[in-house]
Chains A and B, each alone.
Chain A
Amino acid sequence: MRWYFFRLPALCAVAALLDLDAYRVGQWMLSRPIVLGPLLGGCLGKFGVGTWVGGTLELLTLDDLPIGHCVPLNSAVAVASTLLLFAGKPRVELAAAFPAGLLLGLLFRQIEIALRSRCHYLVQEADLAIDRGRAPSGWLIARGICTHAAASACFLYVGIVVAGPVLASGWSFLPFKFRTALDLALQGAPWLGLTTLLYVFRLR
């Protein structure tokens, strides 16, 4: 109970606040997996796993760039959901939590697109305010930021609450060979990250 009513909401709130840094506020790279992984891992008592997940996801998402109108996979949601699934109750094996985290990060991308479209109403309010001789209010920007934070916190919470028990029980029913295969794929993830690092710096 303590997990669902105190720890999980608090950690989802922390991850959601740091996720704001990815796009909305500051861009100080606090939302990057290499920072969020060890941080959340430390909070969950799984510092080593958090570092591994954070480092691997950082490399995997190095070339997923937020250029123009492009919305990349949300790496903050991906790393947070992987760690919360792994360290939560019920505990999900990392081999299942990692791809689930990637999927949740991709799913949140759709929500992010919807949130950006909704900000159109804030712009309309700003236009009205200017027409009436007032300044575009900072509260409109604050509303955009708060909506994003609330959406990512809720998404993380609901995602963990729904996916956690499903993945944990599904893992136990999975044939041994499939479990081994998922473990092997997980071991290959850092290599995929290493090739992404090589590819990002390729001579052009």
Chain B
Amino acid sequence: MARPDHVVVRFSITMKMDFRTQCRMFVRSLFIQGAWDYERAQGLGFAWCLDPWLKGLYPRGGQELKNARQRHMEYFNTQPYMAGIVLGAAARMEESAARHPTPALENRIVQVKKSMEAALAGIGDPLFWGAWRPLCAALAMALVFALPTAHQRPVVFGVVVYLILYNILAQWFRWSGIRWGYEFGEQVAERLKRLDLQRSLRRIRYSGLILAAFAVIATVAVPILRGGAGALWPVFVRGSLLLMCLAMKRMRWTALRAYGALTALAIGAALALP
């Protein structure tokens, strides 16, 4: 059957999101913030990550490839582990644009990227920086204190547990996000809702709070159990210090400012005492 005149076959698209392509994007995404700047943020890194895919879509180069590259050099900034999702979605949409190029679709790619970057940062920042990283650190420290401290092995074990535990989730997100973004395209946000990340975030926070509470009880109250009434004064001092530091955190003081206040307080106490 003869091809109708209005159908233009530009070229055959042979790019596919297979394991090798996903690997390549994953490895490049590790450097997405390598040249971060204030004007384009991750823009250069994103364009570099996506470039092999774009070269595959437009093997003859030309103005379409140039336009596609310029599209992805624009400002882009999101949580680095979530950037894979946007990479996958952009790859999917660029594939559609290469098959059926229209200005509307090309503009849509830029709009979808902009809407996804903020939404994914809103998920990734509290999940990884605000909850998962502190929980892994707390777990590692708990392991270090719980294990026999005859030599350095508990510390090494704690550090290794911290790194493995943290990166299992973080790098899994970075890797799988590329596939999710490619398979679901613009609908990936809907699919992410099914993961119920907010509930996971709450669970992580509750677990961390329980660990932190145990740490406080262990350091403040255990001396009473061991030393009896004689340990009341040191416990009182520790408890007061804890409350004072909590007040500093409540006032949103940074670590350096709070440490400076502690130092000033200590100097005042040293000067006041005979």
In the complex, what residues of A have CB within 8 A of residue B205's CB? Answer: 201, 203
Is there an interface contact between B259 and A189, defined as CB atoms closer than 8 Å? yes
In the complex, what residues of B have CB within 8 A of residue A197's CB? Answer: 134, 138, 208, 212, 215
Q: How far is the CB of A71 from chain B (nearest CB, A)?
A: 10
Q: A38-B155, A122-B37, A200-B208 given as contacts; is B216 within 8 A of A194 (CB)?
A: yes
Give bound CA distance, A79 to B230, whole Å. Answer: 36
Q: Does A10 contact B (CB under 8 A)?
A: no
Q: Does B233 contact A (CB under 8 A)?
A: no
Which residues of B are at the interface with A, using a C-beta cutoff of 8 A? 30-31, 33-41, 43-45, 47-48, 51, 55, 61, 65-66, 69-70, 73, 77, 80-81, 121, 125, 129-131, 133-138, 140-141, 144, 152, 155-156, 159, 162-163, 166-167, 170-171, 205-206, 208-209, 211-213, 215-216, 219, 238, 241-242, 245-246, 248-250, 254-256, 258-260, 262-263, 265-267, 269-271
Question: What are the nearest 6 A-B pairs in CB distance?
Answer: A144-B35, A119-B37, A141-B34, A195-B245, A201-B208, A181-B270
Is there an interface contact between A59 and B137, defined as CB atoms closer than 8 Å? yes
Is there an interface contact between B255 and A136, defined as CB atoms closer than 8 Å? no
Q: A66-B129, A191-B238, A192-B258 given as contacts; is B162 within 8 A of A29 (CB)?
A: yes
Number of chain A residues whose Cβ lies closer than 8 Å to a Cβ of chain B? 76
Give bound CA distance, A63 to B130, whole Å. Answer: 7
Q: How far is the CB of B239 from chain A (nearest CB, A)?
A: 10
In the complex, what residues of A have CB within 8 A of residue B270's CB? Answer: 177-178, 180-181, 184
Q: How far is the CB of B32 from chain A (nearest CB, A)?
A: 9
In the complex, what residues of A have CB within 8 A of residue B61's CB? Answer: 133
Q: A61-B255, A136-B51 given as contacts; is B266 within 8 A of A181 (CB)?
A: yes
Give bound CA distance, A202 to B44, whole Å. Answer: 37
17 example contacts (A-B, Cβ-Cβ < 8 A) are as follows A23-B33, A38-B152, A38-B156, A47-B155, A51-B155, A65-B125, A103-B256, A120-B37, A122-B44, A126-B47, A130-B66, A185-B262, A195-B245, A195-B249, A201-B131, A201-B209, A202-B209
